A and B are shown apart, each in its own frame.
Chain A
Amino acid sequence: LIDRPDAEWVRGMLRSSGLPADETTIEALRGEVELLRRGLGLLREITLGDVATADAFQLDPDDWR
């Protein structure tokens, strides 16, 4: 979805949230979606390798000494 910020999708989101589908709101939403889309693009360029992602984010100070 985030890769397709087309007008129909944007209007659909606004309809389901009850917000007015005026040009200002549509542009604001399109801008936010575009920011996220660009961010995802940057993250996808990073080589992840074999990352072990913890189920819960925790920091153990002993690991850092």
Chain B
Amino acid sequence: MNSEEWPWAPTPVLGRAIARGELSPVQLVEACLTRITSFDGRLHSLITVDAAGARADAVTAEREIRSGGYRGPLHGIPYAVKDILSTKGLRTTAGSKILADNVPQYDAAAVERLRAAGAILIGKAHTYEFACGPEGGHPSIPEARNPWDPRCIPGGSSSGSAVAAAAALCPITIGTCTGGSIRLPAALCGVVGLKPTYGRVSRFGVIPLSRSLDHVGPIGRTVADCAAALTVIAGPDRRDPTASRLPVPDYLGQLGGDVRGLRVGVVREMWTEPIDPDVRRLAGLAVDMLGRLGLQVEEVSLPLAAAAVPAVGIIMSAESAQFHTAWLRTRAGDYGPGVAARLIAGTALTAPDLALAHQVRQLAVDQFRRAMKGFDLLVSPTTPITAPRFGQDAVGIDGASVPWRQILSRFTRIFNLTGLPAISVPCGFSANGMPVGLQLAARPFDEMTLLRVSDAYEKAAGWPSRRPAFGAAAGE
């Protein structure tokens, strides 16, 4: 494999090559930096690139590995993290003007764990301002662009993490998700995004959007990339009281194996109109393939799936307004206009409004718990549409003009509300060449089943072999 091909390889392949001495971390970091230099001036996936730090860490990793100190599958692997995860000594802006010069004194827990595993931080990925929604960055920061068509949005708020993975600027990225912010950009950019169970990954050091809905999780070009990253970033942490003490499986080591006989529920309420016909067709074909892989596919009705959109909206608005109260009083003019309005609107909610949303949340959890006595997995499209273009306010679906901002996250929010682990895997391309994502969800802390089934589907479907035209070849 030549150096131009290394950044496209899955993490386990890179890890094995590094362990055997066939690939040096220095070579791999240089290959990624070359791609960043070639393409990111137009894609804007990274707000900060730490080339010097990455090169120094690569030299250290190479020395350690040569002297017998190989730490595991992520040793020497470059990664980027969404710019709301604190990084010691490296600017963490949250995509905002307010934190434009913020240099943390400590690492977020996920970054700490990645460093301890020997992974190499290469940059901080673009995020919509304070992770406040699936599009709309601060006007002072260039918008990240979709590598499949730079005229289209990448989705967000983990926009840069998905773009960097899709364009093979680094093998692994880390995002955060409050209502779909890992799965939405993963689906729109044709990569894999995993929102783990609430409590699986510590949020310590993450600038919060909504503390009871925020999750940290990986994005990569393949399921194996996400499995490798989750194995490292998951685990207990006394600094985050929601972080679970349950043991962490070796997600990467346990990929593969038989998935036959697992029961998959097709959630009726998550296939309802409006859905782009291409999305419905491709997600339907993916479900058919799950059946051919030996899974038992049945329809299931979960009416409270629809309640997640308003319930998450209320909880997110109230909790984000609480976090931003001080800055809204003193620096309101430094927010982008859309985010300021969203945060101020949240201050109008009352305590009974928030209590109502939490009660609906409990109802939804109860309904899903009962349903999942009979199912190992639930399935739906990740998004009802493919990536809209910048400046486009509505999309055409079956002849109707639909305001896309009102529907984009309607299938993802329920798994933030219930805390269940959910993944988006690519399941094809629309007639206009844009990626479509399939969403699978599992019981709490059963990321292993989610990853195994996703991996089996990915291997059968073969979507990772497709590369975005933008950035497919060096020098393009």
6 nearest CB pairs, A to B? A39-B310, A32-B345, A28-B341, A17-B332, A59-B444, A29-B341
Contact with A along B357-373 (1 / 0, CB 8 A): 11111110010010011
Known: A35-B313, A64-B372, A64-B444. A40 touches B353 (CB 8 A): yes
* B contacts, CB < 8 Å to A: 197-199, 212, 241-242, 246, 304, 307, 309-311, 313-314, 317, 328-329, 332-333, 337-338, 340-342, 344-350, 353, 355-363, 366, 369, 372-373, 419, 443-446
Docked pose: A33 CA to B419 CA in angstroms? 26
Closest CB-CB distance, B409 to chain A, in whole Å? 13
Our pick among B309, B310, B362, B444 for the contact of A40 (Cβ within 8 Å) is B310
Q: Which of A16, A31, A53 has the most chain B CB atoms inside 10 A of its CB?
A: A53
Closest CB-CB distance, B96 to chain A, in whole Å? 16
Closest CB-CB distance, B349 to chain A, in whole Å? 6
Our pick among B212, B310, B347 for the contact of A43 (Cβ within 8 Å) is B310
Our pick among B241, B332, B338 for the contact of A19 (Cβ within 8 Å) is B332
Q: Which of A1, A14, A40, A61 has the most chain B CB atoms inside 10 A of its CB?
A: A40
B358 — nearest CB in chain A belongs to which residue?
Answer: A53
Our pick among A36, A57, A60 for the contact of B348 (Cβ within 8 Å) is A36
Docked pose: A56 CA to B345 CA in angstroms? 25
- Excluding A19-B332, A25-B341, A43-B314, 19 further A-B contacts by CB distance (< 8 Å) are A2-B348, A2-B350, A19-B333, A25-B340, A28-B337, A32-B342, A33-B348, A39-B310, A40-B314, A43-B360, A46-B307, A54-B362, A57-B212, A58-B242, A59-B198, A59-B199, A61-B246, A61-B445, A61-B446
> What number of A residues sit within 8 Å (CB to CB) of B?
41
Docked pose: A14 CA to B332 CA in angstroms? 9
Docked pose: A18 CA to B199 CA in angstroms? 37
Chain A residues whose CB sits within 8 angstroms of the CB of B246 once the complex forms: 61
Docked pose: A18 CA to B444 CA in angstroms? 44
- Which residues 1-53 of A have a CB within 8 angstroms of B? 1-2, 5, 9, 13-14, 16-19, 24-25, 28-29, 31-33, 35-36, 38-40, 42-44, 46, 48-49, 51-53
- Evaluate contact between A39 and B309: CB separation under 8 angstroms: yes
B312 — nearest CB in chain A belongs to which residue?
Answer: A39
Chain B residues whose CB sits within 8 angstroms of the CB of A16 once the complex forms: 329
Chain B residues whose CB sits within 8 angstroms of the CB of A32 once the complex forms: 341-342, 344-345
A-B contact pairs, 9 of them (CB 8 A): A2-B350, A17-B344, A29-B341, A29-B344, A33-B345, A39-B311, A43-B356, A56-B241, A64-B444
B330 — nearest CB in chain A belongs to which residue?
Answer: A18
Known: A19-B332, A28-B337. A36 touches B345 (CB 8 A): yes
B332 — nearest CB in chain A belongs to which residue?
Answer: A17
Docked pose: A10 CA to B309 CA in angstroms? 24
Chain B residues whose CB sits within 8 angstroms of the CB of A57 once the complex forms: 198, 212, 242, 361, 419
